[in-house]
Structure 1
Amino acid sequence: MGSQEVSTVDWQGKHVTVAGLGVSGIPAARALHERGAIVTVVNDGDDERARAQAAELEALGITVRLGDGATLPPSTELVVTAPGWQPDKPLFLAAAEAGVDIWGDVELAWRLRGTNGCPAAPWLAVTGTNGKTTTVRMLASILEAAGLRTAAVGNIGVSLLDAVLGEQEYDVLAVELSSYQLHWAPSLRAHSAAVLNLAPDHLDWHGSMEAYAADKGRVYEGNTVACVYNAADPATEELVREADVEEGCRAIGFTLGTPGPSQLGVVDGILVDRAFVANRQKQAQELAEVSDVDPPAPHNIANALAAAALARAFGVEPAAVRDGLRAFRPDAHRIEHVADIGEVAYVDDSKATNTHATEASLAAYDSIVWIAGGLAKGATFDGLVTGAAKRLRGVVLMGADRALIREALTRHAPEVPVVDLDRTDTGAMAEAVEHAARLARPGDTVLLAPACASMDMFTNYNKRGEAFADAVRAHAEKSA
């Protein structure tokens, strides 16, 4: 299916099972019901919130089964699943055995685009282990600067179904896609797509690194104009080589170094394009300055180059790339500068919930007091510590799995002073900041980049970042 073609499905009377209530399941159930499908929603949970959601759907005539997400309802002709449900759930095994297709919310949105009376907008898709949200939001900012009607959608808080079925008409969509979503999206065909990087993550869901990478690589299938890859991450280029793309689709690399032909890169503090120019052997087009990117950390420059490559693949002029990057402001808790106190910078990167993200965060600063720890999710920390050892002034550890990081520090950075906080209550963050402040010297950065999930102590990484910012402000008042 080409990227501009619209799929037509006769939903009238079709028996569809929607797996999971929530941000994707409820809109999917509503959309299918409105099109005449006979919808049954199954959900593992049976709590007060689920019962309230079920009542709303049942009032429309949709069947809801709470506390039973394992059994395939009789007569099911299609399963539409929330992205987080693991592929080995009994419901899916039963569907596969019965020859029933399984779609995710992204697949359903792809199939329903263009059915609401608006032309189907092409998708510029972004995936990768880290940097997806920032890159998609940068891309949307660039597209807006070019005067295009667009939105940042997908695994970013805005439902793709809402975007493709709403009344707003779009010229193009900037789409963030997780590996979960791509796993269940067999017919997705983007205009252009990027895989930013690949590092072990969600292996409990996918089963292996190979399966995880393969699902990420699905984003390239059927691309029509450009497959954007990270020249510093050969695994992303390998996914491009393996992809079955439309005739004429090009491989476009991005690099923090000087770009070769068909690449975007950096020369003397300038982001340049040697891919979408008339003579890429001899010409380079200036797009923006490194200082136009906020913050200008190396991994964020890489995000900007990937966003620029997708925008240029869509025909956006260089000035719009510059203007869009200048207008962009990062989300909270992503290398967010909180304060300067006594010539020490305090930076919140609570979103760095795995080692790959933290490695990029640590690489952005020369001398660091690192606050780390939480739930390791099976991660190991030797490589991270080895790479960062020379930058570490000191380390403050907190959280349930802090011992794993402490052991890596003992092996690979034994000279770095470590404070180990033996408490997991939320008040530990204030103590962590006080210890970090004592370790820091003028010119240092106190960096919250936990390399771990937050749920041992906090509701989510946002709450962890807010606790850090509150502790920093309290420290500033005491230091004034």
Structure 2
Amino acid sequence: MDAQEVTTRAFDGLPVCVAGIGVSGRAAARALAGRGARVTLVEGRDGDAERGHAAELEALGVAVRLGDGETLPAGTGLVVTSPGWRPDVPLLTAAAAAGVEVIGEVELAWRLRPADGTAAPWLAITGTDGKTTVVKMLECMLTAAGHKALAVGNVGTPIVEAVSQPYDVLAVELSSYQLHWSSSLAPAAATVLNIAPDHLDWHGSMDAYVAAKAKIFAPGCTAVYNADDATSTALAEGAGGVERRAGFTLDVPRPGELGVVEDLLVDRAFTADPASEAAELAALGDVRPYAPHNVANALAAAGLARAFGVPPEAVRAGLRAFVPDPHRIQHVADIGGVAYVNDSKATQPHAAAASLAAYDPVVWIAGGLLKGLDVDDLVRSCAGRLRGVVLMGRDRHRIAEALARHAPDVPVVDVADTDTGAMDRVVTEAAGLARPGDTVLLAPVGASFDMFANYPARGEAFIASVGRLPGAGPAGGAGDADGAEPGGPAGGAGDAR
């Protein structure tokens, strides 16, 4: 009996409940049905999109129950939950009370890997900010080294599909939700980029959020940690059974670290003699878009790549091949000597702080749904950089209150509008505050759902509004420019996105 047959028989006839009909839920249902499980997928919504997905799954033998996502199907032997489902929803609490194991799609994917030694190793990334950037940088580095690699997990191809394909290595982005529902993951190398308060409503406490992130440093892995972030460092130092530890820093690296020397990214962790030897990996100019936190992202990706044996020249080639995603410190236009930058993805204080640290002076566009997060430390840290602030969105008053406490002399414009033309008024007000040499920065520090469908829609609205300013040419697109010019690592240590 081969390894794939062993994996298939482990699920053959097993009654499995899949919670959620989103991308990961559908992928899990397909994978389980293909291995003989008796799958029931449950979903609380019952709209046209859900019915369309249900029809596709039912053709594969999956039973789909729409309109009831709370009742545990009778006889369930395993629950595979989509990552957004909170642990306290009725279906999952019922499973726990009945002694039924609950796992996520990522844990399922780990269990579905071939057991014959051909399974691709995982290089895993988590953190509050920067995960998607790092996983895609890493994919580029691995590909540049000649490996058949793929970025998966919280991005791209569902991981339950990727594990059955003949890849050499997988770059795996993992959210705190996915790690919470995992128990046996053992990546070859892993990193915690940074830790700041986020998703506390889901996890219940900061301690629980950190504990979920800590699961990524499994026994036997190489732990790549952020030496400029106290929590990332503590998690690596406290992880039992890891094979080795390597830090990354925006300072000059010590032996066992990757870091910055003048305008170069260098490795003193994965050389033959870290005490006396350093490998040049890339130049600051190879990091796009340039900002201190993105240099940290590049170093994290390089640490994972080097742990897998990627040579220095492939690290540089990978960074040069990397195409930044839109809405992440995306340079949109220069108008009248003022730069306009879209960082709509900065949806919480840690991300906004990293973005603000890259520009000086700055006219800051902020506001949205703060999700209960405090902004005082953010405002205090960036006050000296602010030329002015334009506020929008439901929780803008909380940012205004923090500005009154910590930056009372900074001009603040409050835009209460929420209609489709609101962003035009926001951008016009920001342009009026800016002077030549300034940056107008959309780094909202809040979620977008009070005014927009999602953060990309908010970013696209900003781009369109900038394009309508007097003197503007065609508005910039996803990869238009590279952000700030490289000047050195100062000012952003520990602020990896």
**Which interval holds the TM-score relative to the shorter structure?**
over 0.9
Partner of 1:237: 233
Q: Amino acid of the residue matched to residue 373 of structure 1?
A: G
Which of 219, 223, 230 is 1:227 aligned to? 223
SS in 1 for 2:332: strand
Which of 347, 364, 367 is 2:358 aligned to? 364
Write the distance in 2 (CA, Å) between the matches of 1:280 and 1:34. Answer: 48
Which of 449, 461, 468 is 1:455 aligned to? 449
Q: Displaced runs of 4+ in structure 1, greater than 4 A? A: 6-9, 476-480
Partner of 1:138: 137
Write the distance in 2 (CA, Å) between the matches of 1:300 and 1:337. Answer: 14
Q: Which moved more, 1:283-292 or 1:308-317?
A: 283-292
Q: Amino acid of the residue matched to residue 194 of structure 2?
A: N
SS in 2 for 1:410: helix
Which of 182, 186, 199 is 1:185 aligned to? 182
Partner of 1:204: 201
Matched, 1:269 2:268: no
Matched, 1:54 2:54: yes
Matched, 1:14 2:14: yes
Partner of 1:310: 304
1:213-257: CA deviation from partner (whole Å, max 9, x where unpaired): 000111111243x101111111111111332335xx111111000
Write the distance in 2 (CA, Å) between the matches of 1:270 and 1:404. Answer: 40
Quote the offset at 1:62 in angstroms: 1.6
Write the distance in 2 (CA, Å) between the matches of 1:423 and 1:187. Answer: 49
1:144-179: CA deviation from partner (whole Å, max 9, x where unpaired): 11111101111013211121134xx21111110000
SS in 2 for 1:165: coil
Quote the offset at 1:454 in angstroms: 0.5
Q: Amino acid of the residue matched to residue 237 of structure 1?
A: T
Partner of 1:148: 147
Residues 361 and 387 in structure 2, CA contact (< 8 A), matched pair in contact too: yes
Q: Amino acid of the residue matched to residue 239 of structure 2?
A: A
Quote the offset at 1:467 in angstroms: 0.6
Write the distance in 2 (CA, Å) between the matches of 1:223 and 1:292. Answer: 32
SS in 1 for 2:215: helix
Cα distance change on mapping 1:479 and 1:111 into 2, 3 Å? closer
Partner of 2:396: 402
Gaps of 5+ in 2: 1-5, 475-497
SS in 2 for 1:220: coil
Quote the offset at 1:477 in angstroms: 4.2
SS in 1 for 2:216: helix
Write the distance in 1 (CA, Å) between the matches of 2:181 and 2:9. Answer: 18
Partner of 2:169: 172
Pairwise CA RMSD of aligned residues?
1.6
Partner of 1:282: 276
Write the distance in 2 (CA, Å) between the matches of 1:109 and 1:389. Answer: 46
Write the distance in 2 (CA, Å) between the matches of 1:287 and 1:152. Answer: 21
Quote the offset at 1:8 in angstroms: 7.1
Partner of 1:36: 36
Partner of 2:246: 252
SS in 2 for 1:210: helix
Write the distance in 1 (CA, Å) between the matches of 2:9 and 2:411. Answer: 63
Write the distance in 2 (CA, Å) between the matches of 1:8 and 1:59. Answer: 20
Write the distance in 2 (CA, Å) between the matches of 1:223 and 1:207. Answer: 30
Write the distance in 2 (CA, Å) between the matches of 1:367 and 1:438. Answer: 14
Quote the offset at 1:271 in angstroms: 0.5
Partner of 2:295: 301
1:78-124: CA deviation from partner (whole Å, max 9, x where unpaired): 10110110011121222122221111000111111227x99310000
> Given the two structures, how large is their TM-score scaled by the length of structure 1?
0.95
Q: Amino acid of the residue matched to residue 149 of structure 1?
A: K
Cα distance change on mapping 1:231 and 1:9 into 2, 3 Å? farther
Q: Which moved more, 1:200-209 or 1:418-427?
A: 418-427
SS in 2 for 1:219: coil
Quote the offset at 1:7 in angstroms: 6.4
1:405-454: CA deviation from partner (whole Å, max 9, x where unpaired): 01100000000001100111231111111111111111100000000000
SS in 2 for 1:45: coil
> Given the two structures, how large is their TM-score scaled by the length of structure 2?
0.92
Partner of 2:489: none
Partner of 1:3: none
Matched, 1:87 2:87: yes
Residues 328 and 343 in structure 2, CA contact (< 8 A), matched pair in contact too: yes
Greater relative contact order, per chain length (Cα 8 Å cut-off, separation 6+): 2
Write the distance in 1 (CA, Å) between the matches of 2:128 and 2:186. Answer: 20
Q: Amino acid of the residue matched to residue 203 of structure 1?
A: L
Match runs of 1:390-429 below 5 Å: 390-429=384-423
Cα distance change on mapping 1:113 and 1:468 into 2, 3 Å? same
Cα distance change on mapping 1:261 and 1:452 into 2, 3 Å? same
Residues 150 and 172 in structure 1, CA contact (< 8 A), matched pair in contact too: yes
Match runs of 1:45-124 below 5 Å: 45-114=45-114, 119-124=118-123
Quote the offset at 1:476 in angstroms: 4.5
Percentage identity across paired residues of the two chains: 62
Write the distance in 2 (CA, Å) between the matches of 1:419 and 1:73. Answer: 54
Write the distance in 2 (CA, Å) between the matches of 1:223 and 1:323. Answer: 29
Write the distance in 2 (CA, Å) between the matches of 1:447 and 1:157. Answer: 28
Write the distance in 2 (CA, Å) between the matches of 1:62 and 1:426. Answer: 42
Residues 467 and 473 in structure 2, CA contact (< 8 A), matched pair in contact too: no
Write the distance in 2 (CA, Å) between the matches of 1:204 and 1:157. Answer: 26
Residues 426 and 458 in structure 1, CA contact (< 8 A), matched pair in contact too: no
Gaps of 5+ in 1: 1-5
Write the distance in 2 (CA, Å) between the matches of 1:8 and 1:190. Answer: 22
Write the distance in 2 (CA, Å) between the matches of 1:380 and 1:278. Answer: 45
Quote the offset at 1:478 in angstroms: 6.2
Residues 335 and 472 in structure 2, CA contact (< 8 A), matched pair in contact too: no
Write the distance in 2 (CA, Å) between the matches of 1:110 and 1:476. Answer: 54
